[in-house]
Amino acid sequence: MTDFSPSSTPPTSVQTSLLTLSDRTKKRNANERRFKAYGIAAIAVGLLMLLVLVVTIFGRGTGAFQQTFVTLDVELLESKLDKTGERNIEDIERISTFGYAPLVNGAMSAAIEQHGVDTSLKSKQLAGLLSKGAVAQLRAYVLANPQQIGETVEFRFLAQSRVDGYLKGRVSRDSIENDKNISAAQLDVVDALVAAGVIEKSFNLDFILGSDASDQRPEAAGMGVSMLGSFFMMLVVLALALPIGVAASIYLEEFAPKNWITDIIEVNIANLAAVPSIVYGILGLAVFINYMHLPMSAPLVGGLVLTLMTLPTIIISTRAALKAVPPSIRDAALGVGASKMQSVFHHVLPLAAPGILTGTIIGLAQALGETAPLLLIGMVGFIASNAPETLGEGLLSPNSAMPAQIYEWAKRADPAFYERAWGGIIILLLFLVTMNTVAVVLRRRFERRW
């Protein structure tokens, strides 16, 4: 059809100008514009929700990183702490926290007097502004430094959670009318001490590094130990899920014959990825705890459960990464006489490694944020544990995990814990964002194009 002579044009055709749009074109353009508008609207809604989420989380959570402290000079009276005067540690240990209360009360009264605060409150009520952990903090210090008995030492005590809330605006004079933990007279004292610089708000590292505290002391609760719990679980997941997942993927992708058995396995792996995580939790409870008698609440068990949960993710992403390596590379390796295994390990696997790592990190991030299975193996609840000292202890002694800790705080009654739950979410999100960023960077950096 190379005949472009004018005579071949049908005489009926109307001369149309390219400068005016035909109705069809107008309609098509309108459709396209509408679709683009829908797309932009969808993205805008998504971004708006993200913005709301981030603003809410940071608005409510950042308070948890600050804490109110009361700075007091405490005179470590020899008459109260060491009546014999021999600095015999066993004698000193015999004094319970109850015995330290007068020292704290005295220090509080002295501070009031020194700064000329006018109040009718008794010293015990004044000391009520401090955290219930203040006496324990004092006792621990004295036991560690018995030589300082008799001297006056400056301490930074945590203020109790209502005082902390008052400084952060969570607690107001109206809201405390029926509150037996604090009175308006006490708040007057707080106002005066804030003006005097005795009470102040500052950054609280213990929220990030400390351990959980009981219902009575929200001001002392921290994420640190549950962070370690999460860390040990991730260690287990990484040590088990990565080698098992990669080995399974390589076998299925490169070696296994394609028949109905492998088809069934493939379908089931895809199905496992969609199984609700709580199912893995109950499986872990039945198998690891009830049958194998592994310790309850242990990160080892949590790690095993999360391994089961993460495996399908890792297998699927690893297989995708292996599939993405062009067959010509395998042919090239086989063509120079490499064995199947050599072609896989020398050429295919290194090329698939970034994809595998990315999938693994995303699987780990998923596992890190998982709460439901931990409910069933007892990693949720107030677990009064201090930081583990050895690897074995870290794996086997009861612990919580970051999301479980957040859940635990969120369900406690005191609103001070609610703030800490939001703060915990910030920490958890920082971990997840970091891991996902690493995954994206790895993918961008080592992605190879053919």
- C-beta of 127 vs 325, nearer to another protein: 325
Kindly state the smallest distance separating residue 342's Cβ from another protein, in Å. Answer: 6
Return the DSSP state at 286: I
- C-beta of 151 vs 447, nearer to another protein: 447
Kindly state the smallest distance separating residue 343's Cβ from another protein, in Å. Answer: 10
User: Is residue 393 within 8 Å of 357, Cβ to Cβ?
Assistant: no
**245-281 b/e with 16+ CB inside 10 Å = b?**
bbebbbebbbeeeeeeeeeeebeebeebbeeebeebb
Kindly state the smallest distance separating residue 361's Cβ from another protein, in Å. Answer: 23
Tokens for 409, please give them.
């705080």
Kindly state the smallest distance separating residue 351's Cβ from another protein, in Å. Answer: 7
383: Cα within 13 Å, side-chain hemisphere: 32
d(CA 366, CA 373): 12
Helix H or strand E segment including 383: none
- C-beta of 220 vs 325, nearer to another protein: 325
How far separated are the first and last CA of the chain, in Å rounded? 39
Kindly state the smallest distance separating residue 449's Cβ from another protein, in Å. Answer: 10
Other C-beta atoms lying within 10 Å of the C-beta of residue 183 = 16
Place of tokens 């009031």: 112
Give residues in contact with another protein (CB under 8 A).
257-258, 326, 328-339, 342, 346-347, 351, 448, 450
Write out the DSSP string of 298-350.
-HHHHHHHHHHHHHHHHHHHHHHHHHHS-HHHHHHHHHTT--HHHIIIIIIHH
- C-beta of 14 vs 336, nearer to another protein: 336
Place of tokens 């009654």: 413
- C-beta of 180 vs 258, nearer to another protein: 258
Kindly state the smallest distance separating residue 345's Cβ from another protein, in Å. Answer: 11
Tokens for 55, please give them.
């603003």
- C-beta of 132 vs 330, nearer to another protein: 330
Kindly state the smallest distance separating residue 54's Cβ from another protein, in Å. Answer: 40
d(CA 354, CA 376): 34
